[in-house]
Structure 1
Amino acid sequence: MSNEEITLRAGDAEATVRPGNGGRIGSLRVDGVELLRQGDRYGCFPMAPWVGRIRDGRFRDGATVHQMPLNSAPHAIHGPARDGAWVTARATADEAVLTYDLGDPWPYPAKLTQVVALAPDALTLTLAVETYGSSFPAQLGWHPWFNRTLDGGTGVEIAFDAAWQEERGADHLPTGNRIDPRPGPWDDCFGMPDGVDVTLTWPERLELKVTSREQWVVVYDEQEAAVCVEPQTGPPNGLNTLPRLVTPVEPLEATTTWSWRRL
């Protein structure tokens, strides 16, 4: 099938999926109000087969060191999936299934599958990576850009209870130390052993909960226009520090749900 834009609808919710632009969610509207920052680099894109930054763009698999392009010099950031053209495997009124073949510069032939499922009060995203041959380390996650304000209203409030914060070095990468969570502003990774659970509240408008079975989330709120809540399978630079192994019999899969209620 093609990689043309897809519109999903459920109740008063509408989502636009853009396979040709990194498999991203380009728009999410509730009661006609846009929740995601607009623009070709925004919305919500999948991060794969790594999340955040890889230090110096290098990761080790056994004795082999691989070099990724330094698209956020001096590091490599967010993986190539957000820059590629995905293909629509199937689409219905409220669900789309997209696929993407990983290749050069990623050294392992592999397939990504993303399922986007819209309900009247929730959006559920599922992402999986499976190998076409060799086992390899990988990470998965999502990078949504939520509008800081809805139609000029009061700015969003972010609430969560993390067990720890990954201490961030001057190079924006975790040092390996876990510290007590600190107040924002943030561009930081937090640990939630019982699963990601972050609440965004636009006062008198909407409450949206970002949840996932995964244990790591990056919260970024240093920008005026938008805030990011990024559930992921490991911390930044995790291909080197905490890799998840994809094997021919065991793919890596992650899911996140955004559920909302009107205030």
Structure 2
Amino acid sequence: MDACGERFVIVSGDARADVDEVGGGLAGFAQGGRVRLEPHPPTARPPKGSGAVLAPWPNRVRGGRWRHRGTTHRLALSEPDAGNAIHGLLRHVPWTLTGRGGDHVTLTAVAPVQPGWPQPVRVTITYTVGAGGLAVETVVENLGAAPVPFGLGFHPYLRVGDVPTDELELTLAARTVLPLRDQLPDGPAVPLERPFASTPLGGLELDGAFGGCVPGDGDDLVRHRVAAPDGGGTELWAEPAFGWVQVFTPGEFPRQGPDGAVVVSRAVAVEPMTCPPDALNSGADLVELVPGEAEVLRWGVCATG
């Protein structure tokens, strides 16, 4: 068994996405003859969280400790060097294939009751490709007997074909920024002094959480994008429930080219999230999952220009 398990490939027209069995995440997406999401091979774990599903919470929980309805929970410290719990419980487990067609695949996993997590939560994701690009639908269900808080995020790295990251411009729907210290909240979100609007990524180092992500005038969706000098671009759209976005620009990302060769370069992760870092403690924008009710959340990626 490869490190990423079985690789599921879905295709429609010029759109193709690869999905991993282990972690249930995206292993690449291409449309219009260009790579839109950073791919990775199935033989090694995704680099720097590439394509990961972040559930039942995204980002970090300070010290792995949180309280809910008077009870303190202690999660495993999955970020041991910093002493935090990070990115949920489903990144490294095999997901179950529950539906498949030429243009779509559905995977399901359950975060069971365990130290630090009090209720079982089932997450079902359907990836679909078509003329409009890639669509990702997540259905979340509380299988337990009592309400439980929930947050969701994804960890895609955006590309515009082989255009270097430093030549791209970044636009975010975000209006606020969350002050961070050691990647954990250090005060309430504050307005962005300078919104990201066609902002050059060259020389810009980011690893921050941005909020206030709302649709533009006359739109129903939140939209973030990167654009290349030739006018082409890649857009990440999301429903308004994804009111947060984490942006990360690592300098040493193993970028895979069309010939399979790997070159270390800069990359840009644009991570849609329903809540900010350490939301299990702050309560900010958490979803309260009630037993017997389902929450449906959608986002996607498409070519622009």
Whether the TM-score (by the shorter chain) exceeds 0.5 is yes
Q: Among 59, 71, 76, which residue is 2:66 paired with?
A: 59
Alignment partner, residue 252 of structure 1: 295
Task: Give yes or no for the alignment of 1:28 onto 2:29.
Answer: yes
Task: Give yes or no for the alignment of 1:163 onto 2:175.
Answer: yes
DSSP 3-state at the match of 2:37? coil
Q: Among 175, 188, 205, which residue is 2:208 paired with?
A: 188
In structure 1, distance between residues paired with 2:155 and 2:244: 13
In structure 2, distance between residues paired with 1:88 and 1:125: 15
Amino acid at match of 1:24: G
CA offset digits 1:36-62 (Å, max 9, x no partner): 334322441211000001111111111
Alignment partner, residue 162 of structure 2: 151
List gaps (5 residues or longer) in structure 1. none
Q: Among 183, 207, 225, which residue is 1:199 paired with?
A: 225
Task: Give yes or no for the alignment of 1:74 onto 2:86.
Answer: no
Alignment partner, residue 131 of structure 1: 142
In structure 2, distance between residues paired with 1:16 and 1:222: 23
Alignment partner, residue 53 of structure 2: 46
Report 1:193-232 matches (<5 A): 193-195=213-215, 196-204=222-230, 206-212=232-238, 213=240, 214-223=242-251, 224-232=265-273
CA offset digits 1:59-116 (Å, max 9, x no partner): 1111111111111131111112111110110111111111001123433222111111
Amino acid at match of 2:95: W
Name the % identity.
28
Structure with the bigger percentage of strand: 1
32-41 or 221-230: bigger deviation: 32-41
Task: Give yes or no for the alignment of 1:17 onto 2:19.
Answer: yes
Q: Is the 8 A contact 2:225 2:234 kept in 1?
A: yes
DSSP 3-state at the match of 1:240? helix
Task: Sort the Cα spacing of 1:33 and 1:121 in 2 relative to 1 into closer, same or farther, 3 A.
Answer: same
Task: Give yes or no for the alignment of 1:94 onto 2:103.
Answer: yes
Q: Deviation of residue 31 (structure 1)?
A: 4.3
Q: Deviation of residue 117 (structure 1)?
A: 1.1
List gaps (5 residues or longer) in structure 2. 195-203, 216-221, 252-264
Q: Deviation of residue 171 (structure 1)?
A: 2.0
Task: Give yes or no for the alignment of 1:112 onto 2:123.
Answer: yes
22-31 or 88-97: bigger deviation: 22-31
Alignment partner, residue 200 of structure 2: none
In structure 1, distance between residues paired with 2:190 and 2:229: 30
Q: Deviation of residue 194 (structure 1)?
A: 2.1
CA offset digits 1:104-161 (Å, max 9, x no partner): 34332221111111113311112232111221111011111234x6335563221124
Task: Sort the Cα spacing of 1:152 and 1:200 in 2 relative to 1 into closer, same or farther, 3 A.
Answer: closer
In structure 1, distance between residues paired with 2:17 and 2:154: 16
Task: Sort the Cα spacing of 1:206 and 1:139 in 2 relative to 1 into closer, same or farther, 3 A.
Answer: same
How much is the aligned-residue C-alpha RMSD, in angstroms? 2.1
Amino acid at match of 2:134: L
124-133 or 189-198: bigger deviation: 189-198
175-184 or 53-62: bigger deviation: 175-184
Task: Sort the Cα spacing of 1:161 and 1:125 in 2 relative to 1 into closer, same or farther, 3 A.
Answer: closer
Amino acid at match of 1:210: L
Q: Deviation of residue 182 (structure 1)?
A: 5.4
Count, aligned residues: 257
Q: Is the 8 A contact 1:56 1:76 kept in 2?
A: yes
